[in-house]
Amino acid sequence: MTFLAYGLYLAALVGAAWVLALWMTRVYAGALPAGLQRLEGLVFRATGTQPDRGMTALSYGLAVLAFNLAGFLSLYAILRLQGALPLNPDGIAAMAPDLAFNTAVSFVTNTNWQAYSGEAQLSYLAQMAGLTVQNFVSAGTGMAVGVAVIRGFVSAKGTTLGNFWQDLTRSVLWILLPLSVGLGLFLAAQGVPQTLLGAVTVTGLEGQEQIIARGPAAAQIAIKQLGTNGGGFFGVNSAHPFENPTLASNMAQSLSILLIPVAFCFLFGRMAGDRRQGWAIFAAMAVLFVAGLSVIHLAEVAGNPALGQGANMEGKEQRFGAMLSALWAASTTAASNGSVNAMHDSFLPLSGLVMLINMAIGEVIFGGVGAGLYGMLLYVVLAVFLAGLMVGRTPEYLGRKIEGREVTLAVLAFLSMPLGILVGGALAATVPSALEAVQDAGPHGMSEILYAYASATGNNGSAFGGFGAGLTWHTTALGVIMLLGRYAIILPMLAIAGSMIRKTPSPVTSGTFPTHGPLFVTLLILTVLILGALTFFPVLALGPLAEETARAAGQTF
Amino acid sequence: MSHPDKLTAPGGLYRAAIRQSVVKLDPRALWRNPVMFVTAVVAAMTTVLGLRDLLGGASGAGTALHISAWLWLCVLFANFAEALAEGRGRARADTLRATKSETRVRVLPGVEADPGTGVETVSTALKPGQIVYVAAGEIIPTDGEAVRGVASVNESAITGESAPVIREAGGDRSSVTGGTTVVSDWLVIKVTAEPGKSFLDRMIALVEGAERQKTPSEIALNILLVGLTLIFLFVVVTLPAFASYSGATIPVIVLGALFVTLIPTTIGGLLSAIGIAGMDRLVKANVIAKSGRAVEAAGDVDTLLLDKTGTITFGNRMADALIPAPGVDLRRLAEAAALASLADETPEGKSIVDKAREALGSVPALPAGAEAVAFTAQTRLSGLDLPEGRRLRKGATDAVIRLTGKTPPGALAAQVEAIARSGGTPLLVAEGDQILGAVHLKDIVKPGVRERFAELRAMGIRTVMITGDNPLTAAAIAAEAGVDDFLAEATPEMKLDLIRREQAGGRLVAMCGDGSNDAPALAQADVGVAMNAGTPAAKEAANLIDLDSDPTKLIEVVMVGKQLLISRGALTTFSIANDVAKYFAILPAIFVAAYPGLGVLNIMGLASPTSAILSAVIFNALILVALVPLALRGVAYRPSSAAALLRRNLLVYGLGGLIVPFVGIKAIDMALVALNLA
C-alpha cells in the first residue's frame, strides 16, 4: 500500500516532468506560438534587451552577477525600509542589518534560509515585492544558468552559451508564471489565504484572544515550491495549516517541489539530441532519491521505542502522518527546496543523516531548478574523467574531451562544499558566540550545526529546527556561505560550459566511453557517494551516526 | 639497443633505484609531485612529534614512530617506482651514449669537392650546412642528408637491426643518422643537426626521462589529485573542532595518519612511473616519441591512414592463377611461364615459378646457353631466349599484343578483362608470336591483417587504406583486407585533404609516411609516424619516429597509447575506491572513546584503535609498492569496445579497489596482533 502510494507519486512526477520538458525544450529554443513570441518581443523591447545576442561564458556569468547584485540591493533596501513603506497593515518595523543581509542573500541565491519568522518580521510589501519577486527570478536565474550549461555540453561548436536576459525572461514568463498561477489558484481553492488584509483577532473557545496571521500566501507558496525556493509565508512553513491545509494541497506541493528539477533531466536529453543521456542522469538521481526516501520511511515508520509504540509522530502534523512527512522530507532536502511540512529536528537520527547527505553532496539529487542539473554535471565531469581513462582514450562526455581546464574548474567548484560545510561548521562548533545557537547536547547538537551549514552551502534553506539561526555570527557566516554555495559553483560551471562549447565534438564510435545505460548510472552514483558523501563521513559519524548508535543503546539527546 | 636489459643486471637496476629513492627525498625533487610532497611533510611532522614524545617519555611514542616510519616508507616506495622506471631508460641511454664518441671528420669546401681537399675537425664542432666526407668504416658524425654517393650503412646502434641499409643522395633514402657506420663505399653528407641536438642526443635525453614533459591527461589528473588532497585537508583540519565539540580528542599523529591514508597516495605515487614506463614501452618497440602528447593522442586516434604497400599487402604482386588460352594445355603454359621467369629475380617472377611448380610438379632448370631478356620500361617485357631458338616472353597485355601482333583469343580476352576488373594485374605469356595464356598477378594481403582491422573496428578506430592504385584495384584489396575505406590514386595533396576532412569532423588521425612529400600530411596528422629510413623533412614533420621503418608499427603505437591511459585511469579508480575501507578502519578507532556506539563502524573487527590506525597506514604503503609492477608493465589491454573495457576495468579496479583494502587491512591487523606490534 505504502509503496503503491510512493510509486504513484513517482509515476505522476515523471509523467508530468516528461511533458513539461517537451514544453521547456520549445521555450528555450524560442519555438513559441506566434502570439507568445509577440508578447515576448514587447517585453524585450520594453526592457531594451537584445535577446539574440549570444553571450560567452564570461559575459553570461557577469550578467548573472549583475542581475543578482541588483536583486540583492533592492531586496535589502525593502527589508531595511519596510517600516516606512506601504502595504504594512500590521506595522512591522525594519529588519536588523545582519538579518536583512542574511535574508536578502538567502532569497537571491534561491536558498530561502529563514532566520526570521515571516508573519512577525515581514510586511506584505516585503513578502510580495521582495521575496516573491526573488522567488521567481532566483529560480529563473538557476534555470537560465542550467540551460546555458546544457548548451555548452550539447550545442554545435561555437563560443556563446545563449543570452542570459532571454533565458531568464523565458524561464519566468513561460514556465514559472503559468505553473505558479495554476498551482496558486489550486492552493487558494484548497483554503490557502490570498488577501491583503491584516491579521485577524479572534476569541478562542477557551475565551482567550488569539491573533491569526494571514496575507497573500497562496501566490508565494506556489512559487516557493515550483522554484525550489522553500521560503514559506509563515514561520513554520508548509506545516502551517494556512500554507498546506489538505492532503490534496500536500500532494500538489510535494509534486511541485521536484517537477522542474526532474524536467531538467529530460530537457538535457532532448537538447543533447539523445534522450538516453537525460534518462541516465535521471536514473542516477532517482536511485539516490529512492534510497534516501526508503531509509527515512523505514526509520520514521519504525518509530522510536523510547517514545512508545508506533511511527515517530513527534514534530509531524497528524493530517499528514509519518509517510507523507517522510516523502516531503526526502523531496525537500533532495531538491534544495527547503520547505517543510514537519519538523526535521524531530525526525529519527537516520532520517536526519539522509537529509544531511542529500544537502551535503551539493544538492544534486534533482536539486534546485537548473542548479541540480548543473551540479550533477559537475559530478559527471569528475566521473567521466576518473573512469573515462579506463577505456584508453582521453575522457569525453557527449563527444567533447574533458581536459585539464575542465578538471581544474570542476575541482574548484567542488571545493566549495567542504569549505562551506566543514570550515563553516567547524567555526560554528568552536566559536563561543556561535555555539549559543545550539539547542541540544551531544551529537544532536552537532547535527543541528551541520544541518544549518549544509543547508546554506547547498542553497537548500531547509532548517533543522532547534538552531538559533538569528545570532549575528550565523546570519553573517551563513549569508557568506550561501553566496559561496551559489556562485562558486555557477561561475566555474559556466566556465566549463564555455570551454566545452569551443571543442569540436568527436563522433561516437564503439571506442567512445558510453554515458548512458546502467554501467554509467552506477558509476555516477558511486562518484557522488565516494567523492561527495565520503568527504563528510567523519562529521556525519559524530552527528547522526553517533546519535543513532546511542539511541539504539537507549540514550537520547 | 634491442636487448638493453641484458646490459644492466636486474640486481644493479634495483640497487640503483633504491639509492635513487633516498636521493629523491630532496624537497626540490619531491615538490614536483604534490601528493607525495604532502605525504613527506606529514611524515616529517609525525617523526618530530614521535621523537618529542620519546624524549619526553610520553606514552604512545612507539606507535607514533611506527606510524611515521610507514609514512616515510610510503614516500620511499613512490620514489622507488619512479627511479625504477627511470633506471630502465637510463640503462638504454648508456648504451646509446657509448656510440656517441668524439671523432675526427673531414669537412669539404663544397659538395663536389675532392675528399682530399677536406679539412680535419672534431665531430662535436659540426654546424648545420657543413659538408662532410665519410668513408667506409667511419662513423657518421651527426645527422645529415646524403648529397653525393651511395653507401651501405649499419644502423644497428640506433635500430638494433644488424643488416646494413642503403643510403644514397637524392630521393627518399638520403637521411643519415649520427652514430651509424658506413660499411662500404662513401658518402658526402650535409649536416642538418645543431651541435648537441642530433637525433641521438634527443633520443638519449628522451629515454633518460630528462626531457619528459607531462602529457595533457597527466596534467589534468595531477590537478584532480591536488584537488582531492585539498578536500581531505579540509576534512582533517576541521575534524579536531568537531571532535572537541563531541568530547573527543584526536592526537595530531592520528590526524596525520588519517590524512595520508585518505589522499590518493597510490596513484599519486605511481603516476610518474606509469608515464615513464609508457614511454619506455614505446622505446622498446623501437619507436621514438618526440613528445609525450603524441603518445597520448595515439590512444585517442579515431582514424588510421595506412599505406597499402607494406602494411596491408606484401607490397609486390604475386601469381595467383595461370589461365591457358583456348586450345593450349595448362602444362605448356606453365612451362613457358616458368622458363620466361627463371631469370627474373623479382618476387613477382619467383611467384610465377612457384605457381608453375604447382601445375608441373617440378620446374626445368635454367638451360645452359639461354639468354635472359631483362625487363625495360620501353618494352615492358621480360623473358628468355633458348639456344634452340625458342623465344619466351611475358609482359603487360598491350606489350605482348604489340610483340606478337595478335590479340588474345575471345575467351582469354574476357578472362584478362575479368582479372583487371577484380583489381588484379593480367600478364600475357607468349612463345614466338603465339599467345599461350595469362598469369593472374595479385596483390596478396598479409595474413592476420583482416583480424587486426576487425579488432581496430571493435575499438572504434576506422581504417583507411591509402594507395596509388586505380580505384578498381583499390576497392578489391580494401574488401579483401577488411579496411573501412580507401583512398585510391592518392597524391600527397589528397592525403592532406583527407586528414583535414576527418579532423573537421572531430576525429583524430594517425598516419605514417617516409617521403618528403608526406611531410605536410605528417605534420597535419595528430599522430604522425615517420620511418627512420625516410627523409629528414618527413622525420621533422612527424611526432613519432619508427626506427624499424615498419609501417604496421602504427597499430602498436595506438595500443601503447591506450594502455598508458588505461593504466592511469585504473590506478586512480583503485586509489579513490580504497578510501571507503580506510574510513571504516580509522573513524571508529578515533571516535569510539567519545561515542562507544560508533564501534559498530568497525565492521572489520580490528583488534584495537592503535592496530586499526597502524593497519590502515601500513596497507597504504604496501599497496603502493605492490602495484609498482603493474604500473611499470601497464594494465593488460585486450582490444575491445569501450563499453566492454569499462565494464571489465570498473569491476577489477573499481570493485577491487573497494574490497581489497578491507581484506588487506584486516590481514595486517591480524599480523600486527600476532606479532605483538600493536
The answer to whether the CB of B148 falls within 8 A of the CB of B111 is yes
Nearest to A400 by CA among A482, A506, A298: A506
Q: Which amino acid is at B110?
A: G
Give the minimum alpha-carbon distance from B228 to chain A in angstroms, rounded to a whole number: 8
Alpha-carbon gap, residue B61 to B65, rounded angstroms: 6
Alpha-carbon gap, residue B112 to B138, rounded angstroms: 20
Active-site residue, from B53, B143, B201, B307? B307
Dihedral, A214, A216, A218, A222 alpha carbons, nearest 10: -130
- Closest residue, chain B, to A553 (C-alpha): B597
- Closest residue, chain B, to A533 (C-alpha): B580
pLDDT at B1: 37
Give the minimum alpha-carbon distance from B236 to chain A in angstroms, rounded to a whole number: 9
Residue with cell 586509489: B575
pLDDT of residue B315 exceeding 80, the answer is no
Choosing among B246, B261, B274, which should be mutated to test the A contact, i.e. which has the most A CBs within 10 A? B246
Q: Label each residue of B259-306 as H, E or C.
A: HHHHCCHHHHHHHHHHHHHHHHHHHHCCEEECCHHHHHHHHHCCEEEE
Does B216 sit within 8 Å of A404, measured CB to CB?
Answer: yes
Residues 6 or more apart whose Cβ sits within 8 Å of residue A369: A110, A139, A142, A143, A146, A226, A227, A228, A260, A261, A264
Nearest CB among B300, B461, B506 relative to A507 is that of B506
CA contacts within 13 A on the Cβ side of A235? 11
Highest mean pLDDT out of A135-149, A215-229, A452-466, B536-550: A135-149
What are the respective helix, strand and coil percentages of chain B, to the nearest 5? 55, 15, 25
Q: How confident is the model at residue A364 (pLDDT cuts 50, 70, 90)?
A: very high
Enumerate long-range contacts of B372-380, CB under 8 Å, 24 or more apart: B372/B342, B372/B343, B372/B344, B374/B343, B375/B344, B379/B403
pLDDT at A49: 84
Highest mean pLDDT out of B308-312, B543-547, B672-676: B672-676
- Closest residue, chain A, to B238 (C-alpha): A426
Lowest mean pLDDT of A245-249, A308-312, A511-515, B631-635, name the range: A308-312
Residue with cell 593480367: B426
Lowest mean pLDDT of A312-321, A514-523, B44-53, B61-70, name the range: A312-321
Does A534 sit within 8 Å of B216, measured CB to CB?
Answer: no
pLDDT of residue B416 exceeding 80, the answer is yes
pLDDT tens per residue, range A87-106: 888 888 999 999 999 999 99
- Closest residue, chain A, to B585 (C-alpha): A538
pLDDT of residue B309 exceeding 90, the answer is no
Check residue B601 and report its DSSP letter. Answer: G
What is the enclosing helix (H) or strand (E) of B76? helix B61-99
Alpha-carbon gap, residue A311 to A382, rounded angstroms: 40
Q: How confident is the model at residue B206 (pLDDT cuts 50, 70, 90)?
A: low
| Torsion sign (Cα): A65, A258, A373, A350 | positive
Alpha-carbon gap, residue B331 to A475, rounded angstroms: 105
pLDDT of residue B452 exceeding 90, the answer is no
| Angle between helix A2-29 and helix A247-272 axes, rounded to 10 deg | 50
In whole numbers, what is the pLDDT of chain B averaged over residues?
86
Choosing among A379, A390, A542, which should be mutated to test the B contact, i.e. which has the most B CBs within 10 A? A390
Check residue B331 and report its DSSP letter. Answer: H
**Average pLDDT score over residue span A513-517:** 88
Alpha-carbon gap, residue A421 to A357, rounded angstroms: 11
Residues 6 or more apart whose Cβ sits within 8 Å of residue A211: A199, A200, A201
**Average pLDDT score over residue span A406-410:** 95
**Average pLDDT score over residue span B165-180:** 81
Residue with cell 585486450: B638
**Is A125 in the B-facing interface, judged by CB distances under 8 Å?**
no
pLDDT tens per residue, range A261-274: 999 999 999 999 99
Would you tell me how many other CB atoms lie within 10 Å of the CB of residue B45?
Answer: 16
pLDDT at B212: 60
Check residue B484 and report its DSSP letter. Answer: S
pLDDT of residue B4 exceeding 50, the answer is no
Strand arrangement, sheet containing B165-168: B165-168, B150-154, B181-185
Q: How confident is the model at residue B281 (pLDDT cuts 50, 70, 90)?
A: confident
Would you tell me how many other CB atoms lie within 10 Å of the CB of residue B377?
Answer: 5
Alpha-carbon gap, residue B84 to B15, rounded angstroms: 9
pLDDT of residue B29 exceeding 60, the answer is yes
What is the enclosing helix (H) or strand (E) of A375? helix A371-388
Residue B94 falls in the annotated catalytic set: no
User: What percent of chain B clears pLDDT 70, i.e. is strictly above it?
Assistant: 96
The answer to whether the CB of B260 falls within 8 A of the CB of B74 is yes
The answer to whether the CB of A481 falls within 8 A of the CB of A442 is no
Does A530 sit within 8 Å of B579, measured CB to CB?
Answer: yes
Backbone Cα Rg of chain B: 34
Phi, psi of A406 (to 5 degrees): -65, -40
Following DSSP, what letter does each residue of B59-75 receive, concatenated? TTHHHHHHHHHHHHHHH
Q: How confident is the model at residue B2 (pLDDT cuts 50, 70, 90)?
A: very low
Q: How confident is the model at residue B519 (pLDDT cuts 50, 70, 90)?
A: confident
pLDDT tens per residue, range A298-353: 999 888 877 777 788 888 888 888 888 999 999 999 998 888 899 888 899 999 99
**Is A518 in the B-facing interface, judged by CB distances under 8 Å?**
no
Buried b or exposed e, range B382-399, using 16+ CB within 10 angstroms: bbbeeeeeebbbbbebeb
Alpha-carbon gap, residue B188 to B169, rounded angstroms: 8
- Closest residue, chain B, to A427 (C-alpha): B241
Nearest CB among B230, B583, B643 relative to A534 is that of B583
Alpha-carbon gap, residue A315 to A345, rounded angstroms: 8
Buried b or exposed e, range B515-537, using 16+ CB within 10 angstroms: bbbbbbbbbbbbbbbbbbbbbbb
Does A426 sit within 8 Å of B642, measured CB to CB?
Answer: no
pLDDT of residue A82 exceeding 60, the answer is yes
What is the enclosing helix (H) or strand (E) of B495? helix B492-504
pLDDT at B477: 86
**Is A513 in the B-facing interface, judged by CB distances under 8 Å?**
yes
- Closest residue, chain A, to B575 (C-alpha): A386
Nearest to B182 by CA among B209, B213, B151, B210: B151
Grid cell locating B222: 595531477
Output the CA angle B349-B352-B356, nearest 5 degrees: 145
Burial of B350 (0-12, 13-18, 19+ CB in 10 A): middle
What is the enclosing helix (H) or strand (E) of A2? helix A2-29
Q: Which amino acid is at B425?
A: T
Nearest CB among B223, B235, B565 relative to A535 is that of B235
Does A385 sit within 8 Å of B653, measured CB to CB?
Answer: no
Alpha-carbon gap, residue A497 to B189, rounded angstroms: 54
- 3-state class (DSSP) for residue B612: helix
pLDDT at A307: 74
In whole numbers, what is the pLDDT of chain A averaged over residues?
91
Give the minimum alpha-carbon distance from A110 to chain B in angstroms, rounded to a whole number: 26
B555 to chain A: which residues are within 8 Å by CB?
none
Note which residues in 402-431 of chain A have CB less than 8 A from chain B: 402-404, 406-408, 411-412, 414-415, 418-419, 422-423, 425-427, 429-430
The answer to whether the CB of B661 falls within 8 A of the CB of B627 is no
Alpha-carbon gap, residue A423 to B231, rounded angstroms: 11
Q: How confident is the model at residue A202 (pLDDT cuts 50, 70, 90)?
A: confident
pLDDT at B3: 42
What is the enclosing helix (H) or strand (E) of B591? helix B579-591
Alpha-carbon gap, residue B240 to A32, rounded angstroms: 57
**Is A58 in the B-facing interface, judged by CB distances under 8 Å?**
no
Strand arrangement, sheet containing B119-122: B119-122, B104-108, B131-134, B187-191, B144-148, B175-176
Residue with cell 545505460: A517
Give the minimum alpha-carbon distance from A346 to chain B in angstroms, rounded to a whole number: 20
DSSP lists the bridge partners of residue B434 as B431
Burial of B329 (0-12, 13-18, 19+ CB in 10 A): exposed
Grid cell locating A497: 560550459
B457 to chain A: which residues are within 8 Å by CB?
510
pLDDT of residue B310 exceeding 80, the answer is no
**Rounded alpha-carbon distances, angstroms, from residue B240 to B149, B246, B259:** 79, 10, 13
Give the minimum alpha-carbon distance from B510 to chain A in angstroms, rounded to a whole number: 14
Q: In this predicted model, which residue has the larger pLDDT, B48 or A321? A: B48
Does B598 sit within 8 Å of A545, measured CB to CB?
Answer: yes
Grid cell locating A312: 515517530
**Rounded alpha-carbon distances, angstroms, from residue B478 to B128, B313, B445, B550, B551:** 44, 10, 9, 20, 17
pLDDT of residue B502 exceeding 70, the answer is yes
pLDDT of residue A163 exceeding 70, the answer is yes
Alpha-carbon gap, residue A362 to A486, rounded angstroms: 10
pLDDT at B5: 42
Grid cell locating A522: 552506477
